[in-house]
Chain A
């Protein structure tokens, strides 16, 4: 995969470049801030841009850079890396896009399996959400939804967790060693219990529905 990288921490940037190259990816360019990366990518194509959220232009240059990249190259995948898995940032990322986009903790992409899985899924048009964050949203949903989430079966909770990570039905089936048909059934049950409308045709909208359900603020007046 052709990858571009912007990260202001030298140690982390160099480490990730080495790992990307070793695992067979082509690093088309790397930069220490977002503006530099946008300039570099105006002349050379990339499949995925990896962005540190907290980098120049301060304070969260990764998000601003992503907005500019998505506008200029709608087909380019975006992977955000952060030292923090915050639902605040997740919601801002989802405003930028819900396809070909991902958010992972920095230390997690040190696993070759995680790095490969993340880049492959983004390349396939999927959304990838840090499991640490997905799990936190499921374990601690908004208080008014706690009882409803708690009423799900253990299996349904597992499926909900994998949905919140952005995984496709086939992806969920693979993780749980069950058939996609069984996953569909679980998802239908979950959506009924949560009172959400099921639209299997649009996976990213399904992820959004689940995340919004777990996270959404009470109506603000």
Chain B
């Protein structure tokens, strides 16, 4: 539900989703995290172990086996490329860093890659796979769309009782609805407070709240 003092996004507050919908949505995130882990613990680990077996073969190749050694080097490089592709897929399903280290480090990594000036402040607390997943993709999508010359943006993440509370400064109000689409199915809300600045009409601070574990 989008609420706040800005016109436009907040005109038609949505009803909170039914409990069954929330549970279903939450399970989707758990499933995504599980798939990512399965890629890591299954296929990826087996392929990594294969490179070790190839190394052994390389070591045991005959002294004049330069051609064979080159061939093994190529195979190992190819397996590295396969793993990089699997990592790319895993990150799109559910970023491993988000799973392992949480929202702060994962969003900091996103910010690090972007042209726009972004600061991420996070306490290091964990909020569960569903809340973290939804928040990550909602915010990462917004940050990625920021132009290089954008106003400095500050993302703050903390826990407020049993809610994940995330605020994004200097966000353009029209993005609230996009975020709401991702947050709402988990029972989350998006609230906006206008920035009082005549030079930047439509700028606001958005506070996202998502119920969490």
- Residues on A close to B: CB < 8 A? 9, 11-12, 15-16, 18-19, 22-23, 54, 59-60, 83-84, 86-88, 105-112, 115, 140, 142-144, 146, 215, 217-218, 220-221
19 CB-based A-B contacts, threshold 8 Å: A9-B41, A12-B45, A12-B49, A12-B52, A60-B100, A83-B44, A83-B45, A83-B83, A88-B97, A88-B105, A105-B80, A107-B48, A109-B52, A111-B55, A111-B76, A112-B58, A112-B59, A143-B114, A220-B119
- Determine the residue in chain A with the shortest Cβ distance to B79: A107
Give the distance to chain A from B76, nearest Cβ to Cβ, in Å.
6
Q: Which of B78-119 contact A (CB under 8 A)?
A: 79-80, 83, 87, 96-97, 100-101, 105, 108-109, 112-117, 119
Which of A11, A59, A84, A111 is B49 in contact with, Cβ under 8 Å?
A: A11
* Neighbour of B112 across the interface among A23, A60, A83, A87, CB < 8 A: A87
Determine if B48 and A110 form an interchain contact, defined as CB atoms under 8 angstroms apart: yes
Least CB distance from B129 to A in Å reads 13
Asked whether, in the complex, the Cβ of B119 is within 8 Å of the Cβ of A115, the reply is no
Contact call B45/A11, Cβ cutoff below 8 A:
yes
Contact indicator B119/A15 (Cβ below 8 Å): no
B51 within 8 Å of A (CB atoms): yes
**Residue B47 lies at the interface, judged by CB distance under 8 Å to chain A:** yes
CA distance A12 to B49 in the complex (A): 5
CB-based contact B49/A9 at 8 Å = yes
Is B30 part of the binding interface, using a Cβ–Cβ cutoff of 8 Å?
Answer: no
Supposing A110-B54, A115-B55, A143-B148 touch, asked if A215 and B112 sit within 8 A by C-beta, the answer is: yes
Closest 9 CB pairs of A and B: A110-B51, A15-B52, A106-B48, A110-B55, A11-B49, A107-B51, A107-B48, A143-B115, A15-B49
Which residues of A sit under 8 angstroms from B115, Cβ to Cβ? 143, 146
Q: Tell me the bound Cα distance from A140 to B79 in angstroms.
A: 24
Collect the chain B residues with CB atoms within 8 Å of residue A146's CB.
115
Question: Complex formed: what's the CA distance from A220 to B118 in Å?
Answer: 10
Q: Which residues of A contact B54 (CB under 8 A)?
A: 110
- Please name the residue on chain B nearest to A22 by beta carbon: B59
Pick the contact of A218 from B44, B109, B117 — CB < 8 Å? B117
Known A15-B52, A106-B45; 8 more pairs at CB < 8 Å: A18-B52, A54-B100, A59-B100, A84-B87, A84-B96, A107-B76, A144-B117, A217-B108
- In this assembly, does B193 line the interface, its C-beta being within 8 Å of a C-beta of chain A? no
| Best-buried of A18, A110, A146, A215 by chain B (most CB within 10 Å) | A110
Please give, as numbers and ranges, the residues of chain A lying within 8 Å of B116 by CB-CB distance: 143
Task: Kindly state the separation between the CA atoms of A110 and B109 in the bound complex, as whole angstroms.
Answer: 28
Q: Is B40 an interface residue (CB 8 A)?
A: yes
A86 to B90, CA, bound (A): 14
